[in-house]
A and B are shown apart, each in its own frame.
Chain A
Amino acid sequence: MVGLATVFGAGGGTSSYEEIENTDLVILWGSNARETHPIFFHHVLRGVRNGARLYAVDPRRTTSAEWADVWLGIDVGSDIALANTMAREIVHAGLHNTTFIERATSGFEGYAASVEPWTLREGERVTGVPAEVIREFAHAYARADRAILCWTLGITEHHNATDNVLALINLGLLCGHVGRYGSGLNPLRGQNNVQGGGDMGAIPNKLPGFQDIEKDHDARRRFEQAWECTIPPKYGWHVSAMLDAMERGDITALYCVGENPAQSEADSHRAQRLLGGLDCLIVQDIMLTKTGEMADVVLPATAAWAESEGTVTNSERRVQRVRKALEPPGDSRDDIWIIAQLAKRLGRDWGEVTPREAWDELRTLSPMHRGMSYERLEALGGIRWPCTDEDDPGATFLHGRLWEEDPHERGPAAPFSAVAFEPPVDELTAEYPIRLTTGRRLDSYNTGVQSGQYVSPLRRRPESLLLSPEDGSRLALTEGELVRVTSRRGSVDAPVTFERSLRPGLAFMNLHFQDLVPTNVLTIDATDPKSGTAEFKATAIRIEKIEARDAAAAGGGGE
Chain B
Amino acid sequence: MEAAPTADERRAVDEVLGPPDSGWHGGDWRPELDGHVAFGGRETSERRHLLLPALHAAQSRSGWISQGAMNYVCQRLSVPPAEAYGVATFYAMFSTEPRAPRVAHVCDDIACRTNGALELCAQLERSIGPAGTPSAEGTFTWMRSPCLGLCDRAPAVLFQAAGEEPYDWALAPTGAEQVRDALGGEPWSRNGHALSGVAHRDGLRLLRRIGVVDPISLDDYRAHGGYEALRRAFDLGPSGVIREVKDSKLLGRGGAAFPTGVKWEAVATQPVRPHFFVCNADESEPGTFKDRIVMEEDPFSVIEALTIAGYATGSEKGFVYIRGEYPLALRRLQHAIDQARVRGFLGEDVMGEGFTFDVEIRRGAGAYIAGEETALFNSIEGRRAEPRNKPPFPVTHGLFGKPTGINNVETLINVLEIIRIGGPAFAEIGTADSTGTRLFCLSGSVQRPGLYEVPFGTTLRQLLDMAGGVPEGRELKAILLGGAAGAFVTPDELDMPLSFEGARRLGVTLGSGVVMVFDDTVNLADVVLRIASFFRDESCGQCVPCRVGTARQEEVLRRLGSGRELGSREQELALIDDIAQVMRDASICGLGQTAANAVQSAVQRLRIFDGASGNGNGA
Chain A-chain B contacts (Cβ-Cβ < 8 Å), number: 56
Q: How many residues of B contact A (CB 8 A)?
A: 15
Residue A69 interfacial (CB < 8 Å)? yes
Are B31 and A61 within 8 A (Cβ)?
Answer: no
Taking a contact as CB atoms closer than 8 A, the residue among A53, A67, A71, A498 that contacts B37 in the complex is A71
- In the complex, chain A residues whose CB is within 8 Å of the CB of B36: 72-74, 127-130, 503
Within 8 A of B (CB), among A21-63: 48, 51, 53-54, 61
Given A73-B36, A128-B36, decide whether A68 and B41 contact each other with a Cβ distance below 8 A.
yes
Task: Check if A504 is an interface residue, CB within 8 A of chain B.
Answer: yes
Q: Assess whether A71 is in contact with B31, with CB atoms less than 8 Å apart.
A: no
Q: Is the CB of A73 within 8 A of B35?
A: yes
Given contacts A470-B31, A503-B31, A504-B31, whether A70 and B42 have CB atoms under 8 Å apart is: no
Q: Known contacts A53-B42, A66-B78: does B37 contact A72 (CB below 8 Å)? A: yes
Interface size on A, residues (CB 8 A): 25
Min CB–CB distance A125 → chain B (angstroms) = 12
**Bound Cα distance from A410 to B41, whole angstroms:** 38
Which chain B residue has the least Cβ–Cβ distance from A55? B41
The residue of chain B having its C-beta at the shortest distance from the C-beta of A132 within the complex is: B37
A188 at the interface (CB under 8 A from B): no
B40 at the interface (CB under 8 A from A): yes
Q: State the Cβ distance, B74 to closest chain A Cβ, in Å.
A: 12
Task: Give the chain B neighbours of A130 by CB distance below 8 A.
Answer: 33, 36-37
Contacting pair A70 B37 (CB below 8 A): yes
Q: B133 CB to closest chain A CB, in angstroms? A: 35
Complex Cα spacing A470 to B41, Å = 26
Choose from A51, A69, A128, A129 the contact partner of B39 (Cβ within 8 Å): A69
Partner pick for B41 among A48, A72, A128, A133, CB 8 A cutoff: A48
Would you call B41 and A70 a contact (CB within 8 A)? yes
Are B39 and A70 within 8 A (Cβ)? yes
Secondary structure dominating the interface of B: mixed
**How far is A65 from B34 in the complex, measured between Cα atoms in Å?**
13
**Shortest Cβ distance from B196 into chain A, in angstroms?**
45
User: In the complex, what distance in Å separates the CA atom of A176 from the CA atom of B464?
Assistant: 77
Whether A73 contacts B41 by the Cβ 8 Å rule is no
Minimal Cβ-Cβ distance residue in A for B43:
A69
Residues in B17-47 with C-beta less than 8 Å from chain A = 24, 31, 33-43
In whole angstroms, what is the CA distance A515 to B41 when docked? Answer: 38
Min CB–CB distance A144 → chain B (angstroms): 14
A53 touches B41 (CB 8 A): yes
A-chain residues with CB within 8 Å of residue B43 when the two chains form the complex: 69
Q: How far is the CA of A54 from the CA of B1 in the complex (A)?
A: 29
Q: Is the CB of A73 within 8 A of B37?
A: yes
Find out whether the CB atom of A61 lies under 8 angstroms from the CB atom of B38. Answer: yes
**Bound Cα distance A71, B33 (Å):** 12
Q: Is the CB of A67 within 8 A of B35?
A: no
- State whether A71 touches B40 (Cβ < 8 A): yes
Question: Which residues of the partner chain B approach A70 to less than 8 Å between Cβ atoms?
Answer: 37-41
Interchain CB contact under 8 A, B31 and A65: no
Q: Determine how close the nearest CB of chain B comes to the CB of A370; give it in whole angstroms.
A: 43
> Which residue of A is nearest B24, CB measured?
A61
- Rounded to whole angstroms, the CA-CA distance of A447 and B161 in the bound complex is 56
User: What CA separation (Å) do A48 and B41 show in the bound complex?
Assistant: 8
Tell whether, in the assembled complex, residue B33 and residue A66 are in contact, meaning their CB atoms are under 8 Å apart. Answer: no
Can you list 11 residue pairs at the A/B interface with Cβ under 8 Å? Answer: A53-B42, A61-B38, A66-B40, A66-B78, A68-B38, A69-B40, A70-B39, A70-B40, A71-B38, A73-B37, A127-B36
9 closest A-B pairs by CB: A503-B35, A69-B41, A73-B36, A71-B38, A128-B36, A133-B37, A129-B36, A68-B41, A54-B41
Other A-B contacts than A70-B38, A503-B34, 5 sampled, CB-CB below 8 A, are A67-B41, A69-B42, A70-B39, A73-B36, A468-B35
